[in-house]
Structure 1
Amino acid sequence: MNPKAGGLPNSLKPEINLEKLQKLVTEVMLPGRFILRPMNATLEILTDTLAWILGSHLIRRHFHLMLSGLVLFGPVLSFWASKYSIFANSNHYLYRKFLRSTWGWTCILTASLVAVISFSACRRFPLCLRHLSRLGVASWLWWGCRRLLTMLEDATGTCYEPVAAPQEAQSSDSAAQALLLLHEDQTKASCLRANMLWRGYEVSQDILILSFCCLLLVEEMSVFGQHLAQEKRLQRSPGAPCRLLFLLCAFLLLIWVLLLLCLLAYFPVWPAHQLGGALGYLGWRGLYQGWYRLNVSWGSPGLPGEGLFNHLS
């Protein structure tokens, strides 16, 4: 042995055995496969069931009627809603994290699902962009509607500052209301920031966007059953990521319906909620039941699934 060499002799040097390494990796991954298989089977059963429900004739034809009935008669639930419930608190986690970013959550998850389904079905980038453009049109419609409603509220409303009533008046008439001092040239946002009172025409933008997002999600998710059928005919698997995206969209739909119920039951405002629901319905009706059914020559992006599964029918 050379005393100048600081390493081990060749007989004592560790050797990497690829067969032993591969066997070790297989033994480590074996328990994970036993865990992932039932989870994957559960995911397939759950997504197949939801795809069948959302793609059924009953849901596709009558979901808007169910939602309209909920918006119209939902305030009746306020007679049984407890003011001590956690949902009666406007600072609840659901309201803070989801209600103010309803369109953002809807757009991100729905766009991801539409992109995956479109590209898996046709492998054509222009057609994928065409289907994604439906969300662009809906975003523009929501932005324009929100700006228009804000301008309408500012033009028709009035800002008031509460003024304490004299003690004599309070003692003589306990039901007398405090005097109000009128403030002109105030917008609704600036008035509320100054802790003053706003009185005027109002449309619930929360109910509007929740109703519109529920209808949009059902429309976009209804073609997932056709996507599963196409993958089965081609003897391919949609894959866990695609199924997981669909499941997240279904969970988001459930959250929006829950928030809609909470707003109607715990914070009833008549007729602002009903007007917001009506505008959300009209937006869906004008797009999915109107413009999207027209030919491409009219600039229509088409209905969900249009041009993706025709060649297999």
Structure 2
Amino acid sequence: MLLNAALVSITNLLARVLGSRLVRGHFHLMLSALVLFGPVFSFSASKYSIFANGNHYLYRKFLKSTWGWTCTFAGSFILLLSISAHCSPSLSLRHLSRLGVAGLLWWGCQHLLTLLENAAGACYEPLNPAQDVQGTASSVQPLLLLHEDQTKASCLKASMTWRGYEVSQDILILCLCCLLLVEETSVFGPHLAQAKPVQGPPGSPLRFLFLLCVLLLAVWIFLLLCLLTHFPKFPSQQLGGALGYLGWRGLYQGWYRLKPSWSCPGLPGEGLLTTTDKQPQ
């Protein structure tokens, strides 16, 4: 009973915060400010910090599977919220399709950015001492042999040097997932307000999934700050953040605001709540 009371109190508080106009209307601005000015903290960051190690547990277990964690937690929350609201299976699938659309967007961005990086960059191999014909000057900064037939992946796999323009895919997916989680979880507050007088408060499983989604959001924001602080790459990280923002803008502030149909999933909470709480422009 004590744990359940704590869970109810915490989730009620978090639901009010995420459902507030400040968060729903300005979270994207706060995230944009973090991406733009986060690298400033790199001047005071210690290179001996555990988060300055690229092989840290958080990076290995979470960063490379960001979309998988987000899809699992957000999808489970959407499904259980639909069941709690007693909606039809077709409506549940329609709401889940938002994750499918975002997944297709991320898949397309990955392939497109990889093609652009391979087209705009080149692979170089450092000259060994036997090939060095420039004397002491080249021993300080050895010349590089160009390999034009290499892709970025094959070049790095062969322990060579890749030089070219790139967009940070890690920052892109972290920003997109943060914005997606805020959008999907912000309807929990209106759901609580509607559920109490109608069918009673939601059960502990739904509240626990909501709490997990909020914790995952905190992890993504923390990882985003760590990358910007300990591994600053200007302007590739800012370009990645801008693409993540544009993806969210096109989906949740554009397409999903159309009338729900077979070609439009609709906004989070559309059809689940008696009075749909539209998000501010």
Structure 2 counterpart of 1:303, which letter? L
Structure 1 stretch 149-158 or stretch 289-298: which is displaced more?
289-298
Q: Distance in 2 between matches of 1:312 and 1:223?
A: 9
Unaligned runs of 5+ in 2: none
Question: Equivalents in 1 of 2:134, 2:193: separation in Å?
Answer: 77
Larger RCO, structure (CA 8 Å, separation 6 or more): 2
1:64 equivalent in alignment to 2:28:
yes
Amino acid aligned to 1:180? L
Aligned amino acid, residue 22 of structure 2: L
CA distance in 2, matches of 1:218, 1:303: 12
Query: Which among 57, 67, 92 is matched to residue 93 of structure 1?
Result: 57
Asked if structure 2 preserves the Cα contact closer than 8 Å seen for 1:67 and 1:211, the reply is yes
CA deviations over 1:30-82 (Å, ceiling 9, x no partner): xxxxxxx1111100000000000000000000000000000000000100000
Q: 1:118 aligns to what? A: 82
Could you tell me whether the CA contact under 8 Å between 1:52 and 1:225 is conserved in 2? yes
Q: Which residue of structure 1 lines up, in the alignment, with residue 105 of structure 2? A: 141
Amino acid at match of 2:270: E
| Residues 1:151 and 2:115 are matched in the alignment | yes
Amino acid at match of 1:214: C
**What letter corresponds to residue 54 of structure 2 in structure 1?**
S
Give the letter for the 1:53 counterpart. Answer: V
1:211 counterpart letter in structure 2: C
Confirm whether residue 190 of structure 1 aligns to residue 154 of structure 2: yes
- The one-character-per-residue Cα deviations of 1:133-187 (angstroms, maximum 9, x if unpaired) are 00000000000110000011111110000114649743x688x411101001111
SS across alignment from 1:228: helix
User: Which residue is equivalent to 2:189?
Assistant: 225
Check the 8 A contact 2:11/2:207 in 1, yes or no.
yes
Rate the CA distance shift 1:129–1:297 in 2: closer, same or farther, 3 A: closer
Give distance in 1, aligned partners of 2:96 and 2:276: 22
Output the amino acid matched with 1:111: G
Instruction: Assess if the C-alpha contact under 8 Å between 2:194 and 2:274 holds in 1.
Output: no
**CA distance in structure 2 between the partners assigned to 1:184 and 1:312 by the alignment:** 55
Using the alignment, how far apart are the partners of 2:87 and 2:257 within structure 1? Answer: 23
**Runs ≥4 in structure 1, deviation > 2 angstroms?**
164-170, 310-313
8 Å Cα contact 1:214/1:253 also seen in 2? yes
1:36-51 aligned at under 5 Å gives the runs 37-51=1-15
Can you list the C-alpha shifts for 1:93-148, whole angstroms capped at 9, x where unaligned?
00000000000000000000001111211331111111000000000000011000
% identical equivalent positions: 67
Q: CA deviation at 1:306?
A: 0.7
1:11 aligns to what?
A: none
Larger radius of gyration: 1
List alignment gaps of at least 5 residues for structure 1.
Answer: 1-36
**SS of equivalent residue, structure 2 residue 54:** coil
Aligned residue type for 2:267: L
**Aligned partners of 2:45, 2:275: CA distance in 1, in Å?**
52
**How far, CA to CA, are the matches of 1:312 and 1:76 in structure 2?**
40
The 1:152–1:235 alpha-carbon spacing in structure 2 relative to 1, beyond 3 Å, is: same
Distance 1:98 1:305, change over 3 A: same
- Say if 2:270 and 2:276, in contact at 8 Å, map to a contact too: no
Q: Which residue of 2 aligns with 1:270?
A: 234
Q: TM-score, normalised by structure 1?
A: 0.85
- 1:282 and 2:258 aligned: no
Does the Cα contact within 8 Å between 1:230 and 1:312 map onto a contact in 2?
A: no
Paired residue type of 1:215? L
| Amino acid of the structure 1 residue aligned with 2:223 | L
Distance 2:179 2:10 in 1: 21
CA root-mean-square deviation: 1.7
SS at match of 2:240: helix
